[in-house]
Amino acid sequence: MFYDVAKNLYISNCRASGKSHNTVESYERSLDLFGDWLRKKEGIAMLSNITPASLLKWKREIAERVSPSTLRLYVSHLRTFFEFCFEMEYIPKNPFKKKVMEVKVKDSDVKDTKTHVLSPILFKQIWSNDQ
């Protein structure tokens, strides 16, 4: 089966299963990006020719151009796509190896997400100044 045919069947299934429009669009962008890379860099059009080595090569190349969080999103989308393809028996074996495709995140990649809570007194002061 051609990669693009499997991708279109997967996207149709996502829509039919009630995933939001934005989620489906995000899956489609990730899978199109990977599909373009497969054709241009690897010369692969058939789903069955995708190997763990080609997935790892793609991950290494894309990691140089995107943030760690974007890379994790792309990897997550590919993981679910290949699980779908395997379950639907489009491929005899899932080339997606979780440990190989894991995205490590350094502390410097994570933004400060501390929550700041106002004391009741400070809250009242701010509130009364706005009124």
What integer pLDDT is reported at residue 126 of this predicted model?
62
Given a contact cutoff of 8 angstroms between Cβ atoms, the answer to whether 55 and 95 are in contact is: yes
Calpha distance 21→90 (Å, rounded): 25
What distances in angstroms separate CA 38 from CA 35, 83, 90, 99, 102, one per listed residue? 5, 18, 18, 21, 20
Nearest-Å Rg of the Cα atoms of the chain is 21
What integer pLDDT is reported at residue 102 of this predicted model?
64
Give pLDDT tens digits along the chain (131 positions): 999 999 999 999 999 999 999 999 999 999 999 999 999 989 999 999 999 999 999 999 999 999 999 999 999 999 999 999 999 999 999 988 766 566 555 544 445 444 556 566 765 666 665 55
